[in-house]
Chains A and B, each alone.
Chain A
Amino acid sequence: MEQPYKHYFEVMPAYLTILDRELRIIEANRRFRRDFGDYEGRYCYEVNKHHSERCDHCPAERTFRDGQRHGIEEQFKNLSGQEVSLIVYTTPIRNEAGEITAVMKMATDITEIKLLQNQLRESRERYRQLFEEVPCYISIQDRDLQIIEANRRFREDFGDFLGRKCYQVYMHRSEECAPCAVKQTFQDGQVHQTEEVVTSKNGEQVDVLVYAAPIRDAGGQIKSVMEMGTNITQIRQLQSQLTDLGLVISSISHGIKGLLTGLDGGIYLVNSGMEKKNPDRLKQGWEMVTRNIGRIRSMVLDLLYYAKDRELEWALTPALAVAEEVCGIMRNKAQEQGVELQCEFEQTAGEFEADAKAVRSLLINLMENALDACRVDKKKSIHQIRIGVKGYPEYMEFEISDNGIGMDQETRERAFSLFFSSKRGNGTGLGLFISNKITQAHGGKIRLESELNQGTRVIVKLPRRRPVPKAP
């Protein structure tokens, strides 16, 4: 080798060796000698890998064979036995006749790069795992609100997202939300927050608190937006229950104030009736006391029913007996109010599996509502309530209708909500809620039809057979 090239060969910051056709090292530079030691007359695989046989995919052999340059990643073992990662290139050395007489092998130490690569892979894997396993819904969206990536929780609850827009997957509709937190983030680069009710692939409604944050490229441009949604359904339910509780306390306190005034009135009439020896007044006062105590009792019973999930006592129950009992209880109340009570019972209705006490209180609740609806209706001179029972092969149908004040749309829609009362101080807002609860516990259905100033019809269908309890 000519002198200047020999120098370059010596000082190259890589391992340089020249191999003959037998793969013996015939020349090596300083760096190679320093790290791999004596090479004279030894084969490259002995020096580089401490092997006694040729390597399976030797690039030098290939270069001898095809005269081409070849590259490969290899692991060498240096003098101190340490594994070193290298990128190895082989290139042919030809004589004047163009024949390959030797192969030069240049190996560059990439151990550090390899280490960094591994660290990067591990770090990416760790972040990937965080993204996948974080207990909220994460999606990455482009400017068209198309979802380009989503985590496991999102995929599990909202299904396939590829090629679909955020609002199609989350809302099952074809229009964007207004306002859209993701769009706002694309516009101003800020984090935006919103609250949405989304629908899962199973049709379940989920309250989510949504945050949108920008994802920027190296140049600081927003390329996509990450949308993170936390399921706050349980928190919202709890809030709603607390609000309901506040409402019932206020409703009960108003009701109790009215009842106390009624009791005060009754006591005043009783006392003054006795003083004045006026039996009519005394009787009237005592009726007021009795009525108000009755109202307190039914309020307390309603509250107890709400406060405690009562276990049903199932028994084969004759539908007529229950309906007749309810009619008996309500007949006097209806007469006092001047309301005509019609009982239309199908004599062959038969029996059904039910908790007779619960069904009785369900029907009494509905009848009391009907009576109240007649009492407050000033537009008609004659009021009627009708209770009907019919037996069908699969279910028992109870129907209670009145020609009272009726309900407007809002009242109809909220009728079964807990603590909703259209009766101001006279209702606890528990009656229809409990009626609905009893019906559901029997596996039945309750339907309400009502027109303002026309009247109301409630139809309760209870299955003849007790529903099979769901497996826990």
Chain B
Amino acid sequence: MTDKKKILIVDDEQDILTYLSTLLEDNGYATALAKDGEEALKQVEAVGPDLITLDVSMPEKSGIKLYREVKANDRWKQIPVIIVTGVSGDFKKFISTRHQVPPPEGYLSKPIDAEEILALIKKLIASSEFIK
């Protein structure tokens, strides 16, 4: 159990949390869930995920703010992040507002293609393992 890769799923939609967690667990990952940015930060600290999937529009703390905080932290900046959003303008906004932070490792738009997200997660975890 301990060698399972841990993925933190951040989304304010319960259905999407349920979907992604079931899908990822079925494919051999362990998951942690957060419904907003504040909760997600606590989870990053507590769980130490190998990858984060992140929705952009959320109450409390937006995905953009959370991303900046993760990437600005030396302990967390190596964690690959996949942006998952339904707003087509979000990614552009995301890129234009990032200062001194690298672009996200992955970007997917809703509705999510199961094969696509699994392939991307596999690839990103493999390359971050390689760096380690």
Contacts and interface: CB of A to CB of B under 8 A. Distances in A.
B16 interface: yes
Contacts of A262: 13, 15-16, 19
A121 to B, nearest CB: 64
Contact of B57 (A265, A376, A425): A425
B15 A272 contact: no
Interface in B81-121: 86-89, 109-112, 114
A269 B111 contact: no
Q: In which size bucket is the chain B interface? A: 20 to 34
Nearest to A267: B19
A24 B27 CA distance: 132
Nearest to B35: A378
Interface string A280-293: 01001000100110
B87 A265 contact: no
Contacts of B12: 376, 424
Q: In which size bucket is the chain A interface? A: 20 to 34
A282 to B, nearest CB: 12
A329 to B, nearest CB: 21
A250 B87 CA distance: 8
Interface in A245-273: 250, 253-254, 257-258, 260-262, 264-266, 268-269, 272
Contact of A376 (B59, B88, B112): B59
B114 A261 contact: no
B86 A261 contact: yes
Interface in B1-41: 12-13, 15-16, 18-20, 22-23, 26, 36
B60 interface: yes
Interface string A114-127: 00000000000000
A264 B84 CA distance: 15
Contacts of B15: 261-262, 265-266, 288, 291-292
A260 B111 contact: yes
B18 to A, nearest CB: 6
A377 B129 CA distance: 38
A268 B19 contact: yes
Contacts of A424: 12, 57-59
Contacts of A260: 110-111
Given A264-B111, A264-B112, A424-B57, A258 B22 contact: no
Interface centre among A253, A260, A378, A425 (most CB of B within 10 A): A425
Given A424-B59, A425-B57, A258 B36 contact: no
Contacts of A281: 22
Contacts of B22: 265, 268-269, 272, 281
B16 A268 contact: no
A257 B60 contact: no
A258 B19 CA distance: 12
Given A258-B86, A264-B111, A424-B57, A269 B19 contact: yes
A407 to B, nearest CB: 13
A265 B18 contact: yes
Given A264-B112, A268-B114, A288 B26 contact: no
Nearest to A255: B86
Interface in B36-90: 36, 57-60, 86-89
Interface of B: 12-13, 15-16, 18-20, 22-23, 26, 36, 57-60, 86-89, 109-112, 114
Q: Rank and list the top 10 A-B pairs by shortest CB-CB distance, nearest first.
A: A265-B19, A257-B86, A262-B15, A260-B111, A257-B110, A261-B111, A424-B57, A261-B110, A254-B86, A254-B87
Given A257-B110, A268-B22, A268-B114, 11 more contacts: A250-B89, A253-B88, A254-B86, A260-B110, A261-B13, A264-B19, A281-B22, A288-B19, A376-B59, A424-B59, A426-B13
